[in-house]
Amino acid sequence: MKLTNTGFTKTGTRVKMLVTAAACTVLASAAFAADPPGWAYGFPPAGTPVAAPAPAPPTPPPPDTSMKSLPGASGQFIRAQIGDRFGPADWYPGDHPAMPDVVSHGKKPEVFACGLCHYPNGKGRPENASVNGYPVEYFIQQMNDFKNGNRKSAEPRKANTNLMMQFAKNMTDAEIKAAAEYFAAMPYTPWIKVMETATVPKTRIQGGMFLTLEGKETEPIGNRIIETPVNAEATEVLRDPHSSFIAYVPMGSVKKGEALVTKANGKTTQCAVCHGADLKGIGPVPGLAGRSPSYVFRQMNDMKQGMRKGTWTPLMKPVVESLAEDDMLAIAAYTASLKP
């Protein structure tokens, strides 16, 4: 929120009012209260002090050129190859059909390879999305919404949403269609284990994802979902598309979510009306079962906040309009707990 000098007229005289430091604190606190919940967008809670960055070493360490490997993988790669934006490592080429060039290599310099962030098998990670098993029509429409500015994030710091807008604008219709058909050809399979708990391992945030700290320290979960890799190194360093996730959710949230999803409880519409009785999708409507709860929450919140304005929003906006943050959290926890 931008704070500007405020003027008002009194007895015909315009008086300039400067916002004092104390007033700034009050107004900033009010802004934080309206901010989207950090846990869903990969940021610390609003108002959390930002630690000063560690000083850079006088001599930067040499790049890690050691060969990395994974169980059952057909090849070995160095770190630079694993994170190559225009040709990331494909650990398990037997897992998927032949990748279109835009998925395997992107298009320099404007479009990163889709397989970098979403993995070649489309499983994705909590900070982005699983895109495998999405209907072709839905995938294409979402890319067009990004392209036309109709799909944004309620959290302006969420850089990968801004990147998706850039990618979509620089992809041809043929490239979008090729990616859509490729990911649609692979069914979405179990990827996330949902666990109800009162406490969670302490984590740090890196690249929009919560990574468990070494040791066994815990903290109250509060009103959050903490979605974290089963193996932090395999996910963050090696980008292992076989390394899955745990979603820690508050006690009782799955049952509360089930009631909202199946009975609506006067607050919303039963999800099965559009997403199917098993929440695995119908026609161009995507499935919700087993998908990332962080992602599902973000999309509901973005629609509620008016940041998604595409084809599906007129249908979804009334569904989420009366839902509180707790309700959306519970819905996301329940849908994630279902077998895809």
User: Are residues 220 and 177 both part of a single domain?
Assistant: no
Count structural domains, the chain: 2
User: Are residues 165 and 205 both part of a single domain?
Assistant: no
Return mean pLDDT, the chain. Answer: 89
**pLDDT by residue (tens digit) across 224-249?**
999 999 999 999 999 999 999 999 99
Classify residue 257: in a domain, yes or no.
yes
Residue that finishes a domain, picked among 184, 211, 243 = 184
Tell me what pLDDT residue 337 has: 98
Residue that finishes a domain, picked among 119, 152, 184 = 184
User: Are residues 202 and 319 both part of a single domain?
Assistant: yes
Query: CB–CB of 1/31 below 8 Å?
Result: yes
Percentage of the chain exceeding pLDDT 70: 90
Tell me what pLDDT residue 34 has: 58
User: Are residues 84 and 158 both part of a single domain?
Assistant: yes
Tell me what pLDDT residue 155 has: 95
User: Are residues 175 and 205 both part of a single domain?
Assistant: no
Percentage of the chain exceeding pLDDT 90: 81
Sign of the four-CA dihedral 314, 338, 189, 198: positive
User: Are residues 272 and 321 both part of a single domain?
Assistant: yes
Separation of alpha carbons 309 and 8, rounded Å? 35
Tell me what pLDDT residue 334 has: 98
Classify residue 306: in a domain, yes or no.
yes
Mean pLDDT for the stretch of residues 10-28: 33
User: Are residues 247 and 291 both part of a single domain?
Assistant: yes
Tell me what pLDDT residue 114 has: 98
Classify residue 62: in a domain, yes or no.
no
Tell me what pLDDT residue 54 has: 78
What is the pLDDT confidence band of residue 56, given thresholds at 50, 70 and 90? confident
Tell me what pLDDT residue 8 has: 31
What is the pLDDT confidence band of residue 23, given thresholds at 50, 70 and 90? very low
Classify residue 68: in a domain, yes or no.
no
Residue reference for tokens 């009785």: 277
Q: Which residue has the higher pLDDT, 180 or 25?
A: 180
User: Are residues 214 and 118 both part of a single domain?
Assistant: no
Classify residue 167: in a domain, yes or no.
yes
Tell me what pLDDT residue 20 has: 33
Classify residue 168: in a domain, yes or no.
yes
User: Are residues 168 and 196 both part of a single domain?
Assistant: no
Tell me what pLDDT residue 340 has: 95
Q: Which residue has the higher pLDDT, 250 or 22?
A: 250
The per-residue b/e assignment along 56-84, b for 16 or more CB within 10 angstroms, e otherwise, is eeeeeeeeeeeebebeebeeebebeebeb
* β-bridge mates for residue 194, sequence order: 247
Mean pLDDT for the stretch of residues 152-160: 95
pLDDT value at 138 more than 70: yes
Residue that finishes a domain, picked among 184, 207, 222 = 184
Q: DSSP strand E in 149-215: where?
A: 192-196, 199-201, 203-206, 209-212
Classify residue 229: in a domain, yes or no.
yes
Tell me what pLDDT residue 336 has: 98
Taking Cα atoms as reference points, which of 172, 189, 186 lies closest to residue 101? Answer: 172
Instruction: Give the least confident one: 28-37, 144-153, 245-254.
Output: 28-37
The domain spanning residue 162 has which CATH number?
1.10.760.10
**pLDDT by residue (tens digit) across 255-310?**
999 999 999 999 999 999 999 999 999 999 999 999 999 999 999 999 999 999 98
User: Are residues 147 and 205 both part of a single domain?
Assistant: no
Classify residue 65: in a domain, yes or no.
no
User: Are residues 143 and 197 both part of a single domain?
Assistant: no
Separation of alpha carbons 86 and 116, rounded Å? 8
Alpha helices of 203-320 — where are they, by DSSP H? 232, 253-263, 272-275, 293-304, 313-320
Residue reference for tokens 């397989």: 115
Domain that holds residue 296: 192-337
User: Are residues 272 and 318 both part of a single domain?
Assistant: yes
